[in-house]
Every structure is written in C-alpha cells, then in structure tokens.
C-alpha cells in the first residue's frame, strides 16, 4: 500500500518576516512511499512548468539527502534560472515523464563538470 510520508510547501514568505507561514503557496512536493520512494508536485500556481514533461522523481534510494533539491530543480526550474548548467539539463531531460535520480547523477556528470545540485547551492 502506498502513501505520502512528507509534504513540503514551496512558496513566498507570508506576512511580516514570514509570520503568516508560506503565502502564496506555489507548489507542494509530495513524498510517496511504497516499494520505492518518489516525489511529485501539486501545483497551485498554474504558471509553473516542470522540466520537460516530468511528473515524478524517483530517488536512487529512500531518504536521499538531495532528493528534495532534485525535485525542486525538476518541478520549479524557474527558481534555478541562474544555474549555469540548467539549460543543458533541461535539454537532456526534455520529454521525460519520470526521472530516476540514479540516472540523473550520471546525466549531470556527463552534461557538466558539476552536478546541478551542487551548482544551485552556490547560487
């Protein structure tokens, strides 16, 4: 039986210094658990588009430390527009519906000298 173990809220800082929590909410990143863990978006802001046709991120293993960052890059790429290798990653992933993080690392290492995850942390 599958279910969601975590839900992350992505959006703006609501109220004065965030006193109203996340507002407006752009997206929820849902972490599902079954025989494999997966992350999927639930968009509230319809102007947000994922990379290609990605609907799901499947980490290499459960509770991978970079899986939330991977999901944010895949599902909210406009927030990482300053990342130098994002365009190459978008081109490589265009058309995919499911991204396996184990394959992602190979892809990112082939596309650039650093992974998008490490580059996006710098910016």
Say how many C-beta atoms besides its own lie within 10 A of residue 65's C-beta: 8
Is the omega angle on the peptide bond into residue 24 within 30 degrees of 0, that is, cis?
yes
Question: How confident is the model over 39-64, as pLDDT tens digits?
Answer: 999 999 999 998 888 888 888 888 88
Contact between 89 and 70 (Cβ < 8 Å):
no
Domain definitions of the chain by residue range:
3-79+95-103
| Mean pLDDT on 64-80 | 87
| Report field, pTM of the whole predicted structure over 0.85 | no
Contact between 5 and 31 (Cβ < 8 Å):
yes
């Amino acid at each position: 039986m599958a279910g969601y173990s975590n839900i992350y809220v992505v959006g703006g800082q609501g109220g004065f210094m965030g006193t109203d929590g996340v507002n407006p909410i752009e997206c929820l990143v849902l972490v599902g658990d079954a025989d494999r863990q997966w992350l999927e978006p639930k968009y509230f802001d319809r102007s947000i588009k994922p990379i290609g046709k990605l609907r799901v991120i499947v980490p290499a293993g459960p509770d991978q430390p970079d899986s939330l960052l991977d999901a944010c890059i895949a599902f909210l790429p406009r927030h990482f527009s300053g990342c130098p290798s994002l365009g190459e990653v978008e081109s490589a992933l265009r058309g995919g519906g499911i991204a396996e993080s184990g394959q992602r690392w190979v892809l990112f290492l082939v596309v650039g000298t650093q992974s998008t995850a490490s580059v996006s942390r710098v910016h």
